[in-house]
Amino acid sequence: MRQLGTGFHLFVSADGAALDEIPDIVRTLKNHPNQFRYNGKPVLSTFAGEGFDKIAGRERARIAHEEDAVFVPYFYPRPNITELPKAEHAAQLARDFPDVDGYFYFGAAGTGEQIAESTSVLARQWLGMGKIFMAGITPYYRANGGHFRRMREATRPSLTRTGP
């Protein structure tokens, strides 16, 4: 990316990283010219990793802040895990993780309308708290090992799923 000179920026999502790996990840990339920054600080995200008791999620936030990074994770509301959060889930996430700098909604489940509704609910919650909200774009999602595929195309409702 640096060699291309396009100015394109990326942020790290430390999915599955052990807690002790996070400082090295941030330190290694924080001065890279293509590191996405918010208010001058490197942005760090993660997919899940909050832990059933939420302690791991709070620890991830603490470590990110010690490294002077902006932490915008995707965490599941627990114990009421859902991929299509409603207002009560958004409020629960905000209560459970008050030290995160915002929230990233991965949004790969449900119909386009359902994802849009969850995105709207979560955006109101986090932006209303003066925090960052980041929405994903997932017209096609293929998870670990290809066993889980979702595809949507708004103009052709008959094409809703592909693969085995």
The domain spans of the chain are 12-151
Q: What is the mean pLDDT of residues 129-154?
A: 68
For residues 70 and 39, is the Cβ–Cβ distance under 8 A?
Answer: yes
Amino acid residing at 143 = A
Q: Tell me the per-residue pLDDT of 109-128, one tens digit each, with 9 for 90 and over.
A: 788 889 899 999 999 999 99
Tokens 């990840």 sit on residue? 25
Side-chain half-sphere CA neighbours of 43 within 13 A: 20
* pLDDT for 112: 82
Q: Tell me the per-residue pLDDT of 66-100, one tens digit each, with 9 for 90 and over.
A: 999 999 999 999 888 898 999 999 999 999 999 99
b/e string for 31-45 if b means 16 or more Cβ within 10 A? eeeebbeeeebbbbb
